[in-house]
Amino acid sequence: MRIKISIATFLIILFFWIADGGYRHVAFLNNIGSFVYTASSTNPFKIETLLGSKTVKAEEEIKPEENKATSTVRIVTHIKTPEHVKAIYMSSWVAGSPSFRDKLVKIVDDTEINAIVIDVKDNTGVISWEGRVRDLNEFIDELHAKNIYLIARVAAFQDPLYVKKFPDEAVLSKKTGGIWKDHKGIPWVDSGSTKMWRYIENISKDAYARGFDEVNLDYIRFPTDGALADMSFPISGERARISKSAIIGDFYRYITEALHKEGIPVSGDLFGIIMITKVDIAVLGQDMHTALETFDYVSPMIYPSHFYAGTNGYKNPAEHPGEIISYSMKKGIEIADEVASSTGQATSTVLAKYRPFYQDFDMGATYTAEMVRAQITAGEKLGIESWMLWDPSNHYTPSALKGAD
C-alpha cells in the first residue's frame, strides 16, 4: 500500500527535521555555509574555511559574513598594538584544546602578559581554522573581550603540505633531482616562489579578517640544516647562490606592502645569531638591517641555548641568560643605530621595533623563574620594553612574571 503525503505535510516534517538538526547527518547539507577560499588562477591552492557562504578570490578582502543559521552577524574588531607588547606563544594544538588553553589565558589574566601569539599556519603547513581550532572565531572574541592583543603566527617557507600540492615549487636535490629534505626529513618551499608569497599573503589577510590584530611571520628564511650543498632552487636559481638575503629582502618588502594596504601590522622572526655574526646571513638570507627597515616589529629569537659555545666567553651560553641577552641585544642596538642613520629616523624609533623572543624552556640548562626573568631584565636595562616568551610545549613559568597592572 502506498502512502500519499501532501506537499504541506512534507514541508511541515521537513521544517521540524531541519530545526532539530537532522540536516547535520547529511554530508552535502552539512557543508552548506562553508566556502572555499580560492587563490587566483596563478595560485590554485585552496583553503577550506568556515567563515561564510561564498567563494572568493585571494585578492578580495574577506568580510564578516551573516550566519545563515542564526541570522546574526559576527562583528570583527581589532585592538591597537600596545605600547609595550608582552606575549606568550600558543600552538594551534593548545588553542584547539580548551582545558589547556584556559591555563594560558589565566596566565594573561594574572600577570603582566597582554598578548598571545597563536599559530595560524605552523611549520607542518596546517591551517588552524581547518579543523584544528574549531571554535577559533569564538576564542578570538573571548580574548578580545579581555583586551588581549592577538598575533597570528604564520610559518612561511617550511610547509610540507604546500610542497605536496606544488612539488615544482620545492627546494630540490642536486643528486636525485627529487625533493630535497632537511635533517628532519622535512621539505621546504623555494623562498623565491612568488606563488608562495601570495599564498602567505592570503592566509595573513584571512587571519586579520577573523580578528587577529597582527601578522607575525616565522621561517622567513632558507633552510639551514641538512645537506645544504645538495640544494638546488628551481625558482630562485643562481640568485640563491649569489645573495639569499636579497631574495628574502624582496619577500619582506612584498608582504609588508601587501598587508599594510589592508592596515595590518606586520612583524618578523629572525635568528638572534645574525646580530653578533654575519656568517649566518649568507646561509639564512636573513638580515637584521633589512628587517628593521621593513617590518613594523622585529623579533630576534635570542634563546641563550641556541648560541654557539664560547659566545661572549661562555662555554655554555644557556647557563647565562641575562648576560647573553645583554650581549646580543647590545649588538642589536648597534644595528638599530645604523638603520636610523641610513633612514633618517631617530634611534629610539627603530629600537622600539625590537620585540625579542626569550627562552622559557629547558635546553642547555634547566630554566628557573630567575633565569627567565633575567632575560627580561637584561632587555629592559637596554630600553627594550617589549618581549615574547617561547616554549614549544606551552608550559610557561608564571612566577617569572610580574602581576597584572
Q: What is the pLDDT of residues 74-102, one digit of tens each?
A: 999 999 999 999 999 999 999 999 999 99
Residue 15 has a pLDDT of: 42
Rounded Cα–Cα distance for residues 371 and 317 (Å): 12
Residue 72 has a pLDDT of: 79
Distances in whole angstroms, Cα of residue 259 to Cα of each of 205, 253, 353: 7, 10, 17
Rounded Cα–Cα distance for residues 237 and 174 (Å): 12
What residues does 298 pair with on adjacent strands? Answer: 268, 354
Specify the fold of 86-400. Answer: TIM Barrel (3.20.20)
Give per-residue pLDDT as tens, 315-358.
Answer: 999 999 999 999 999 999 999 999 999 999 999 999 999 999 99
Question: What DSSP assignment string belongs to 223-234?
Answer: --SS-GGGEE-T
Q: Is the pLDDT of residue 16 over 70?
A: no
Rounded Cα–Cα distance for residues 139 and 98 (Å): 9
Average pLDDT, the chain: 86
Q: Which residue has the cell 541570522?
A: 71
Q: Any residues with CB less than 8 A from the CB of 30 and at least 6 apart, and which?
A: 23, 24
Q: Which helix (H) or strand (E) holds 357?
A: strand 357-359
Percentage of the chain modeled with pLDDT above 70: 82
Domain boundary assignment for the chain = 7-73, 86-400
Rounded Cα–Cα distance for residues 118 and 107 (Å): 15
- 166-181: average pLDDT: 97
- 290-297: average pLDDT: 98
